[in-house]
Amino acid sequence: MRSIAILSFFLFLFMSLPAESPDKIKVGEESLGTKKYKEFQKPGLCGTSCHTDIYQQWKQAMMSQAYTHHWDEIEYFKLAIPHGEKDEKVAKVADGCNGCHAPMSFMAGDVPPPKPEENSRANESVSCDFCHTVTGFKGEIPHNFNYISDPGRVKYGPREGEVSPEHITKKSEFLRKPEFCGTCHNEMNPFGIWVKSTHLEWKEGPYSKEGVRCHDCHMTNAPMKTALMGKEYPDARQHLFHGAHDKGKVQGTIELRIHPESREFEPGDKVKFTVALFNQKTGHKFPTGSVEDRIVWLHVEAKDSSGKTYHMKVDEKGFEGEEYTISTDVLAYQDMGIALDDPDFKGVQRDGVPFGDRIFRMPYFDPQGRMTIQQWNTKSLGVDYRIGPRETKIETFTFLLPDEIAEGEVTVTATLNYQKLVKPVADLLKVPGEATEIIKVNDHSTKITVFYD
């Protein structure tokens, strides 16, 4: 009995995300204005004379665009800053964005930084010299830019005994730890809600127990000369940081299989199809990170032998909050009206994908209980219907074969799609097309045959 009680206590500890008071957000805030830009070297210096390959990889990754990328710029300048000016509760949040997106600007006290078009040092985003001079983090849980930064001659790296004409090189265990990534990949907002928890999801999942780190999937090992005058290492860390903005990384993340309950039917019959969705690739949930923006949906369509197509609605399971996981024609995101100076703003369509499709998401709610894409204005979270690492989710679709369906083979295809930003929001805020490009994660088809009497 006692051992069961102890076990369930530990299970409880393990299953509940650490609860923290919003006061602890202040840990990261303490570093505002504590450094100067000139203490940090520019990425061009590291990249042109020495670390050429790594520099070119970083240039292509979102790390070098965390401040300048179009959606970041729009969300920061059109929503977060104006909202902060009008609402005391979220007043400080807009400064904090920079703690992760432009960490040097935050530490230099340059907030809000000049707009990207002004080409200031904020544009360096998450740079070489920022990461390679971090020595640890403050507090117990890495989150909200609670990294410890110590810029200077010493650069920290993964190897012992490196010699460089430019700087002193020291080995750091911390850089190699997922907690380092967690200082920016976990975020708690002013309401005490975990609005980003990629590192915590990883920690709860199977990969952390096997010692598979963030780096092993996002900074993979391969032969490379890490510095022009250095030697080639067989296991050099690639600075790819490929994620949601890399189609190839997203494709194949989930494997799909669809099958019917039987193979032969007549018009008027009901056929049940089952879809299994297996998360084989991500080390955290899918989607993760900016969960408030992302949308993943399962679309199932039948095509009869005459080429006519029929769309199927997902079978409801009846769990609490399910209405947020089935696409429908409702309006949401009304809280953008505050920043947009439109108190009567009615919102825009919640999903922008075919009605009746299953959506894998976790809704974020504003203080009035309406769905929001403004993570800083999130007071509660809804049902977590995302696909966990190595989890398999099952969905069913019941198809009533219409009287007019053509005789012969019917092909039924399940497609899982992904968009980085819900389209109605992107359309409203004029976010360029890349954010709403539909990425096909995977698809699979099966066949049944229709006979006439």
Which residues in the 158-217 window bind ligand HEC by CB under 6 A? 158-159, 175-176, 178, 180-181, 183-185, 187, 196, 198-199, 202, 207, 212, 214-217
Residue 313 binds ligand HEC, judged by CB under 6 A: no
Instruction: Judge contact between 234 and 223, C-beta under 8 A.
Output: yes
Contacts for 173-178: CB closer than 8 Å, 24+ residues apart: 174/134, 174/135, 174/136, 174/137, 175/131, 175/132, 175/134, 176/213, 176/215, 177/213, 178/202, 178/203, 178/208, 178/213, 178/214, 178/215
Instruction: Judge contact between 148 and 134, C-beta under 8 A.
Output: yes
Among residues 40, 58, 106, 364, which is the contact residue for ligand HEC, using CB under 6 A?
58
Amino acid at the residue 390:
R
Tell me the window of 71-79, 255-263, 336-344, 353-361 that interacts with ligand HEC (CB under 6 A). 71-79
When the beta carbons of 37 and 233 are compared against ligand HEC, the nearer one is 233
Cβ 322 to ligand HEC, closest distance in Å? 23
Cβ 28 to ligand HEC, closest distance in Å? 7
Q: Distance (Å, rounded) from C-alpha 332 to C-alpha 323?
A: 13
Among residues 284, 350, 358, 423, which is the contact residue for ligand HEC, using CB under 6 A?
284
Residue 333 binds ligand HEC, judged by CB under 6 A: no
Instruction: Classify each residue of 49-72 as buried b or exposed e, where b means 16 or more C-beta atoms within 10 Å of its C-beta.
Output: ebbebbbebbeebbbbbbbbbebb
Q: Which two tokens stand for residue 47?
A: 């990249």
Cβ 426 to ligand HEC, closest distance in Å? 10
Cβ 106 to ligand HEC, closest distance in Å? 9
Q: Give, as ranges, the residues between 124 and 163 that touch ligand HEC (CB under 6 A).
A: 126-128, 131-132, 144-145, 157-159
Q: Give, as ranges, the residues between 409 and 428 that touch ligand HEC (CB under 6 A).
A: 420
Residue 362 binds ligand HEC, judged by CB under 6 A: no
Cβ 268 to ligand HEC, closest distance in Å? 42
- Determine phi and psi for 323, rounding to 5 degrees: -60, -20
When the beta carbons of 56 and 368 are compared against ligand HEC, the nearer one is 56
287 prior amide bond cis, ω within 30: yes
Count of residues touching ligand HEC (by CB under 6 A)? 83
Q: Give, as ranges, the residues between 364 and 383 that touch ligand HEC (CB under 6 A).
A: 376
Cβ 186 to ligand HEC, closest distance in Å? 7
Residue 253 binds ligand HEC, judged by CB under 6 A: yes
Residue nearest to ligand HEC (CB): 289
Q: Distance (Å, rounded) from C-alpha 335 to C-alpha 31?
A: 30
